[in-house]
Amino acid sequence: MKSILLIGCGHMGSALLKSWKETKKYQLYVVDPIKYKNIKKKYKSDFIKTFKSMSMLPTNINYNFVVLATKPKDLDSALDDLVKIKLKNNTSIISVIAGKKLKVFQNKFKYINNFFRVMPNMPASIGESMNCIVHNNQINKIKINEVKQLFTYSGKTIFFKNENQIDMATAISGSGPGFVFNLIDAMEKAATNLGFKKNEAKILVTQTFRGSINLLLNDNLSAQDLVKMVATKGGTTEAGLKVMDNNKIHSIFIKLVKASYKKAQNQAK
């Protein structure tokens, strides 16, 4: 059984932990100085062992994967502690921290050859993540396939050759769920403003999103084509779309994605 050392178990770390735990194919070692007690209480499993610090980890383990999921500000101290563990040179070091380049980890572990940078998103907790992955050049296909399988348990995977594409994806799929949830919240509030009860509004809006996404995925038409199909001339949808056009909704989304992308780039500095 392969082993995973997960360092940091916030929202993203917890989402990945849940997906890997359910496979029962990995032995998981989780380090989180704040949440280790809650994790131990939540996951009473032989497949998961939790620790307050890396100094408490067993010394006889060959970690196949080290997944860094700390907050960006905590990464330096985490790497300093990780160096003391003396990882094997065949370990795959994986970062899911936004904005942190591969060279940060390569410079710290010069004797290791396998480095991956992954941008998952929150739906990983239900196996519906969008996992964007990039890796260093000096790496064999076996290691690439191992990491691909690891993240396939939490959702879909896509590999990029250019590391800058990870920052770009951070602004789309990484931050995207927040934008989608904000849209849903706005539509629910609009529904209650019309007079629907909160539970009625939630059903109406969430099923509308679910049905629309499934239709898009099961049809050869583009989203733009489907907009035209729904918006019959002189109809109710057209009236609403005119408001969106007048308020330049497409321009707003371009701006918010660019803001997220710029933030991802700045986090690397």
Encode pLDDT of 140-171 as tens digits: 899 999 999 999 999 999 999 999 999 999 99
Query: Beta partners for 118?
Result: 133
Retrieve residue 15's tokens: 């989402």
Residue among 116, 112, 109 at smallest CA distance from 163: 116
- The residue count of the chain comes to 269
Spatial distance between the Cα atoms of 89 and 111, rounded to a whole number of angstroms:
6
Spatial distance between the Cα atoms of 216 and 225, rounded to a whole number of angstroms:
10
Question: Using 50, 70 and 90 to split pLDDT, how confident is the model at 114?
Answer: very high
SS3 helix, strand, coil % of the chain, rounded to 5?
55, 15, 30
Give the amino acid at 214. N
* pLDDT given for residue 209 in this prediction: 97
What does the pLDDT average to over 197-214?
98
Portion of the chain with pLDDT greater than 90, in percent: 85
C-beta atoms surrounding 252 within 10 Å = 11
* pLDDT given for residue 156 in this prediction: 97
What does the pLDDT average to over 175-204?
97
Retrieve residue 20's tokens: 């890997």
3-state SS class at 155: strand
Question: Using 50, 70 and 90 to split pLDDT, how confident is the model at 267?
Answer: confident
* pLDDT given for residue 99 in this prediction: 84
Spatial distance between the Cα atoms of 211 and 41, rounded to a whole number of angstroms:
37
pLDDT digits (tens, 9 = 90+) for 221-241: 999 999 999 999 999 999 999
pLDDT of residue 28 exceeding 80, the answer is yes
* pLDDT given for residue 86 in this prediction: 85
> The dihedral of CA 161, 106, 171, 153: what is its sign?
positive
Spatial distance between the Cα atoms of 36 and 199, rounded to a whole number of angstroms:
35
Spatial distance between the Cα atoms of 214 and 225, rounded to a whole number of angstroms:
15
Cβ(250)–Cβ(227) below 8 Å: no
